[in-house]
């Protein structure tokens, strides 16, 4: 009964979403007030029925209803409750329901916080979101229903993939999806602006907080995935340029560009058509990512077993939204004139460079992602594009981007040079180089050729981000939240760069074969294998090896590492032992029984690795602070006054 109710709720949600897009788009077009007034209740209705469907599926997981095919294939009665809930989005069907659930939630939030927007504009935004909803609720219902029955019922479930039984992975997909789907809001604002033919500073001001919110979720989601891969999957790697990682990184790059471009559109009325295009790109890349993962065109660690009909459906959706929005863009963009110009050295030109570099990086990653598919399609050989390609094409735009960031933060709108902050910037740059050299001294190695550049750039950005808050604090001035958020986010970027530089330059990895009592040394740490014994977990058996780490004869930590075999799926899984300190991680992973009491092990020293995720987290917090700026709360339909030159760091 429960799954049938779930299907029924989805059907009602689909019908309401159709009504939502119809009343929103057609109502605004014909200017029928009563139709537009009907949009808000439909948005609430869609949310209620999707939430009902989601709750019903979750309850099927909680009570172990193995008459539901999706529950039987992805859960098990021995699975702890927390993972039975996380298993709801552990495979294709449920994760789509989550996608739709998050879309409905975004739409509800937009409806709730946009009461002060012009009626027709608001109706259009919600109408476009309704259209996206129709596509994806339809996709869920017609190709991937999580409520299909299994008759006769299974004795017990096939269990959740052991790799997914992890706290970080329980929240990684919802976070990432919130980001992915959040780009739909910026997209809806862009399409509504094109439909109404009006794009002014207030449009940019409405769009900014939603875009930043999506960006924030995307940042956290990607960072969580990276962290999970580091300790569960990757044997200590934090980024693999895996096709699915790229699928989430490309929307991140374009959304980052969009945030910056929106700043120019709001403050200076420039880059209008470019901003629209970026909003379309960001959403299209999110859809493309969904298509590439769900269709089975790309196979990676993340992709679920997939079938062609699903791929065709998403391809159809993808084409509809991309072709539709680009056609609208071609018709409407020429009428959206930007007003005014700017000098070669100005905040505008720095932001233009920022956009060019971010989009170039996204484009080059996209090329690496699609090239093997093209080669294969034309039978030109089976190739793959590996990490060296992506490292190179990402680093080339990213390095100047980071270096320009430290300076660009202090450039003023329109024309100003950097006189006001020249002294502080020089001190920051000099200090950064000194600190970078000191770090090289501490690690007693010059490292990779780019090590000193990476450290110096990272410290420079951090120092530069602090200039404005510190000087305001010292003179007793308050700082607008948007400016403070920007400073925090850029500080996070600098910290991230330090982390990446440290771990790439000075990490040590070693595969060893050890008998009990034997030891191996890396980076001044001695790893002594004490012995292994069997242990039992709630739903797995494991061999646990204990490794004692000492430094200069003094004990540092006793690291246990496990090789687990989960009872239902019988897949072995390594559970690494990790010791965390502010300046490094020590990492031990147990390999195979080599015979004669010896085990293979991978021991690793990962300097500064934590700053990669901490930097990302701080950047996301910066986004949150910026959203809370008072400007966004009291939205009035007025033009924002153009900023006076010289008031650098005011907002952006």
Partner 1 sequence: MTPRRKRMLAVGGVLLGVGAAAALAFKAFDKNLLYFYDPSQVAAGVAPVGKTFRVGGMVTKGSVQRAPGSLEVRFVLTDYAHTVTVSYTGLLPDLFREGQGVIAHGQLHDGLFVADEVLAKHDEKYMPPEVAKSLKHATPPEDRT
Q: Would you call 553 helix, strand, or coil by DSSP? A: coil
- DSSP type of residue 149: B
Q: How far is the CB of 371 from partner 1 (least distance, A)?
A: 7
Contacts of 202 (CB under 8 A, 6+ apart): 635, 636, 637, 638, 639, 640
Q: How far is the CB of 161 from partner 1 (least distance, A)?
A: 7
- DSSP type of residue 229: I
Residue number with CB closer to partner 1 (113 or 235): 235
For residue 632, give the nearest of 294, 254, 206 by alpha carbon: 206
CA distances to 14, 309, 373 from 320, rounded to whole Å, are 18, 17, 22
Q: How far is the CB of 228 from partner 1 (least distance, A)?
A: 13
As a whole number of Å, the end-to-end CA separation of the chain is 53
Q: How far is the CB of 572 from partner 1 (least distance, A)?
A: 5
Q: How far is the CB of 233 from partner 1 (least distance, A)?
A: 8
The DSSP result for 70-99, as a single string, is: HHHHH--TTS-HHHHHHGGGSSHHHHHHHH
Q: What is the Cα Rg of the chain in Å?
A: 26
Q: How far is the CB of 457 from partner 1 (least distance, A)?
A: 20
Q: How far is the CB of 139 from partner 1 (least distance, A)?
A: 22
Q: HEC string of 320-345?
A: HHHHHHHHHHHHHHHHCCCCCCCCCC
Q: How far is the CB of 175 from partner 1 (least distance, A)?
A: 21
Residue number with CB closer to partner 1 (29 or 302): 302
Contact 354, 257 (CB under 8 A): yes
Classify residue 561 as left (phi > 0), alpha (psi -120 to 50) or beta: beta
Residue number with CB closer to partner 1 (35 or 529): 529
CB neighbours of residue 149 within 10 Å: 14
Which residues make up the interface to partner 1 (CB under 8 A)? 161, 163, 233, 235, 299, 301, 305, 341, 356, 360, 363-364, 367-368, 371, 381-386, 388-389, 392-393, 396, 511-513, 515, 569, 571-574, 589, 591-592, 594-596, 598, 600-602
Residue number with CB closer to partner 1 (231 or 491): 231
For residue 588, give the nearest of 532, 527, 530, 536 by alpha carbon: 527
Determine the Cα–Cα distance for residues 359 and 343; give it in Å rounded to an integer. 22
Q: How far is the CB of 617 from partner 1 (least distance, A)?
A: 27
The DSSP result for 190-218, as a single string, is: HHHHHHHT---HHHHHHHHHHHHHHHHHH
CB neighbours of residue 334 within 10 Å: 9
Residue number with CB closer to partner 1 (281 or 460): 281
Residue number with CB closer to partner 1 (301 or 438): 301
- What strands lie across the sheet with 540-551, from one edge to the other? 519-522, 525-536, 540-551, 554-566, 572-575
Residue number with CB closer to partner 1 (355 or 505): 355
Residue number with CB closer to partner 1 (341 or 531): 341
Q: How far is the CB of 514 from partner 1 (least distance, A)?
A: 9
Residue number with CB closer to partner 1 (565 or 614): 565
Residue number with CB closer to partner 1 (201 or 364): 364
CA distances to 91, 150, 398, 564, 607 from 86, rounded to whole Å, are 10, 21, 35, 20, 32
For residue 133, give the nearest of 13, 309, 5 by alpha carbon: 13
Residue number with CB closer to partner 1 (534 or 595): 595
Q: How far is the CB of 280 from partner 1 (least distance, A)?
A: 18
Determine the Cα–Cα distance for residues 319 and 309; give it in Å rounded to an integer. 15
Contact 184, 218 (CB under 8 A): no
Q: How far is the CB of 365 from partner 1 (least distance, A)?
A: 10
Q: Would you call 159 helix, strand, or coil by DSSP? A: coil
Determine the Cα–Cα distance for residues 228 and 223; give it in Å rounded to an integer. 9
Contacts of 184 (CB under 8 A, 6+ apart): 103, 106, 129, 132, 283, 286
Burial degree of 153 (CB within 10 A; 0-12, 13-18, 19+): middle
Residue number with CB closer to partner 1 (223 or 233): 233
Residue number with CB closer to partner 1 (410 or 564): 564
Residue number with CB closer to partner 1 (393 or 547): 393
Q: How far is the CB of 51 from partner 1 (least distance, A)?
A: 31
Q: How far is the CB of 396 from partner 1 (least distance, A)?
A: 6
For residue 112, give the nearest of 56, 43, 11, 174 by alpha carbon: 43
């Amino acid at each position: 009964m429960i799954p049938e109710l779930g299907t029924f709720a989805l059907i009602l949600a689909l019908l309401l979403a159709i009504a939502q897009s119809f009343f929103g788009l057609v109502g605004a077009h014909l200017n029928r007030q009563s139709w537009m007034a009907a949009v808000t209740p439909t948005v609430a209705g869609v949310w209620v029925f999707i939430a009902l469907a989601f709750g019903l599926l979750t309850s099927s997981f909680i009570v172990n209803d193995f008459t539901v095919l999706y529950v039987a294939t992805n859960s098990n009665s021995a699975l702890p409750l927390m993972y039975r809930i996380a298993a709801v989005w552990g495979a294709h069907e449920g994760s789509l329901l989550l996608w739709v659930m998050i879309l409905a939630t975004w739409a509800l939030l937009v409806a709730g916080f946009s009461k002060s927007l012009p009626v027709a504009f608001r109706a259009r935004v919600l109408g476009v979101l309704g259209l996206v909803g129709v596509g994806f609720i339809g996709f869920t219902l017609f190709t991937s229903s999580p409520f299909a029955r299994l008759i006769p019922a299974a004795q017990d479930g096939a269990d959740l993939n052991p790799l997914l039984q992890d706290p970080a992975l329980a929240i990684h997909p919802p976070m990432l999806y919130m980001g992915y789907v959040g780009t739909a809001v910026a997209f809806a604002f862009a399409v509504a602006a094109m439909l109404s033919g009006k794009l002014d500073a207030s449009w940019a001001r409405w769009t900014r907080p939603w875009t930043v919110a999506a960006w924030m979720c995307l940042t956290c989601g990607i960072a969580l995935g990276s962290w999970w891969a580091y300790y569960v999957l990757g044997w200590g790697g934090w980024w693999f340029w895996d096709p699915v990682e790229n699928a989430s990184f490309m929307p991140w790059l374009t959304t980052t560009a969009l945030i910056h471009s929106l700043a120019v559109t709001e403050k200076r009325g420039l880059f209008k058509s470019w901003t629209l295009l970026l909003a379309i790109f960001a959403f299209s890349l999110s859809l493309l990512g969904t298509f590439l993962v769900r269709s089975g065109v790309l196979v990676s660690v993340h992709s679920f077993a997939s079938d062609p009909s699903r791929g065709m459906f998403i391809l159809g959706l993808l084409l509809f939204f991309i072709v539709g929005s680009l056609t609208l863009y071609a018709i409407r963009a020429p009428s959206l004139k930007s007003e005014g110009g700017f000098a070669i050295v100005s905040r505008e030109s720095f932001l233009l460079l920022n956009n060019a570099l971010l989009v170039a990086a996204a484009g080059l990653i996209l090329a690496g992602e699609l090239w093997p598919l093209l080669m294969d399609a034309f039978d030109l050989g089976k190739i793959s594009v590996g990490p060296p390609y992506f490292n190179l094409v990402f680093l080339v735009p990213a390095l100047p981007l980071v270096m320009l960031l430290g300076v660009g933060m202090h450039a003023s709108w329109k024309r100003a040079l950097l006189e006001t902050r020249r002294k502080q910037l020089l001190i920051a740059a000099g200090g950064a180089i000194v600190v970078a050299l000191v770090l090289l001294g501490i690690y007693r190695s010059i490292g990779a050729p780019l090590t000193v550049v990476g450290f110096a750039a990272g410290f420079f950005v951090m120092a530069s981000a602090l200039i404005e808050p510190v000087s305001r604090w010292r003179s007793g001035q308050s700082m607008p939240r948007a400016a403070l958020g920007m400073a925090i986010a850029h500080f996070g970027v600098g910290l991230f760069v330090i982390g990446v530089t440290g771990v790439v330059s000075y990490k040590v990895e070693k595969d060893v074969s050890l008998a009990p009592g034997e030891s191996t040394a890396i980076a001044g740490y001695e790893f002594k294998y004490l012995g292994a014994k069997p242990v039992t977990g709630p739903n797995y058996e494991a061999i646990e090896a204990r490794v004692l780490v000492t430094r200069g004869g003094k004990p540092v930590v006793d690291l246990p590492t496990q090789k687990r075999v989960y009872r239902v799926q019988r897949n072995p899984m390594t559970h690494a032992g990790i010791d965390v300190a502010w300046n490094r991680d020590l990492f031990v992973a147990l390999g195979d029984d080599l015979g004669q009491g010896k085990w293979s092990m991978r021991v690793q020293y990962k300097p500064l690795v934590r700053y990669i995720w901490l930097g990302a987290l701080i950047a996301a917090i910066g986004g949150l602070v910026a959203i809370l700026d008072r400007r966004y709360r009291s939205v009035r339909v007025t033009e924002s006054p153009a900023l006076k030159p010289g008031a650098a760091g005011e907002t952006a």
